[in-house]
Amino acid sequence: MTKVLFVVSECAPLIKTGGLADVAGALPAALAAYGDEVRVLLPGYRAVIGKLGKTKVIQTIKDLFGGPAKLLGCTIAGLDLLVIDAPHLYDRDGGIYGDAVGKDWGDNPERFAALCFVAAEIAENGAGVWKPDIVHGHDWQAGLTPEYLHSAGVNVPFVFTVHNIAFHGNTSAERIASLRLDAARFNAEHFEFWGQVSALKAALMGADKITTVSRTYAEELLTPEFGIGMDGVLRHRKSDLFGIVNGIDKDIWNPSTDPNIKPYKTAAGKAANKKALQKIFGLGTSSGPLCVLVSRLTEQKGIDLLLEALPELLSRGGQLALLGSGDPRLEVAMLEAAAGHENVSVKIGYDEALSHQMMAGGDVILVPSRFEPCGLTQLYGLRYGTLPLVALTGGLADTVINASPAALASSVATGLQFFPITSQALANAFARLGSLYEQPKVWKAMQRNAMAQSVGWETSAAEYHAIYAGLT
């Protein structure tokens, strides 16, 4: 049995802002099937502490970057958790990364250095009687862990997963002492990045193995376009870089048991859910496909491309139901599009139950992202027979079989991909979509193919297990 400590800033179902939380919440159970024992180390945000119930104090810390702290242990939803109860760092109004208006907390470097520091402490001395064989950090918030392991002289292997390379966790070099880092290691071989302290750089240089969340994204990260300044570092570590596609929790996302919808086992059962969804969004019946989009509203997610290509979808009788929030400019533009066309409806915000209803009721799930490390919504779509229409990038390229003539002839297509990632290419994909939707036999075959795809964690967990086994 390999004991693995996950070091992560969010974890479903306790706290979630994106797909990282879903991975942290679902992967431990999948790894358990291979004999790995995972405990998840998580900051004790106010929302987390409020959900813990009965806990055990495992350790007290007199000074954790500015105040006292306790390490709590508990089990929730099958997850073995280690939670850092440090009110001076985590008990505050607003979000987990920023305040109520979205501005990053000024002490984020210390808040997540504390997470890494406690991880190294657990690696050295254990959490009670439990001591990890592997420390597995996720994204920049866990990035300083190998520096603290080194400072403590702890020889425990460190695996690091890049969920999104865009966030580096950089801060001023003036913080080196306050972050309890070794100033002698402030260089290109460790955590220095263009004169700043970079938590991401520390992880990429200090990890024994690096993974990211799809094979295509692993290749993309080696290029200046997608590496976002870290491509040179990753080319240096190329032999230790692996792409392992994410999975989804098939119990939570299961159309035959989902309590948020009218359950169904085959795509024929989507009709009642489509009618219900159209009613929720105030849409009437239409001759074209009902496209759904659940996303942050940002240019990275291709929302501006969708706005430009939308007339092509609507001209073919298509509909759009959108749930999301983000860039205020894009929120306004989408609301204006909805006001200007009866077949467009937009809800600003996020609603977990509604997102399930959208997967069940939609004909198509749109993911027009300019880059997408893995993506989960297309996997939800496959599971629910809601065909993905996606950009050809990252995990979208790895998980959707494009409806090319060859794929259609072989009856293996599960969705549509478009490239280059432009509004015109997306408009062309909408034209292809309209043609496919007008062919019921072809459409139903694609839905069957989609629902038959393996979208769980089984294969991916086996790959992580193999990496752990190679390090212990």
- Please tell me the predicted confidence (pLDDT) of residue 92: 96
The strand pairing partners of 416, in sequence order, are 389
Burial class for 290, CB neighbours closer than 10 Å (0-12, 13-18, 19+): buried
Query: Are the C-beta atoms of residues 320 and 260 closer than 8 Å to each other?
Result: no
Query: Are the C-beta atoms of residues 322 and 293 closer than 8 Å to each other?
Result: yes
Read off the tokens for 53.
Answer: 């119930």
Is 279 annotated among the ligand-binding residues? no
Q: Closest Cα partner for 374 from 350, 390, 356, 351?
A: 390
Please list the rounded mean pLDDT of every run of 10 residues in the chain (472 residues). 97 91 94 97 97 95 97 96 98 94 94 98 97 98 98 97 96 98 98 98 98 97 96 98 95 96 97 98 97 96 98 98 96 98 96 96 98 95 98 97 97 98 98 98 98 95 97 94
- Cα→Cα distances 36→1, 314, 468, Å: 5, 50, 9
> Can you tell me the distance from the alpha carbon of 428 to that of 432, in angstroms, rounded to the nearest whole number?
6
- Please tell me the predicted confidence (pLDDT) of residue 101: 84
- Cα→Cα distances 184→187, 206, 252, Å: 8, 15, 48
> Where are the domains positioned within the chain?
3-247+457-471, 267-451
For domain 3-247+457-471, is the CATH number 3.40.50.2000?
yes
- Please tell me the predicted confidence (pLDDT) of residue 100: 86
DSSP 14: T
- Cα→Cα distances 411→23, 133, 400, 402, 416, Å: 31, 45, 14, 11, 14
Instruction: Name the fold adopted by 267-451.
Output: Rossmann fold (3.40.50)
- Please tell me the predicted confidence (pLDDT) of residue 157: 98
pTM of the model: 0.92
Question: Is there a common fold for 3-247+457-471 and 267-451?
Answer: yes
Return the amino acid letter for 126. G
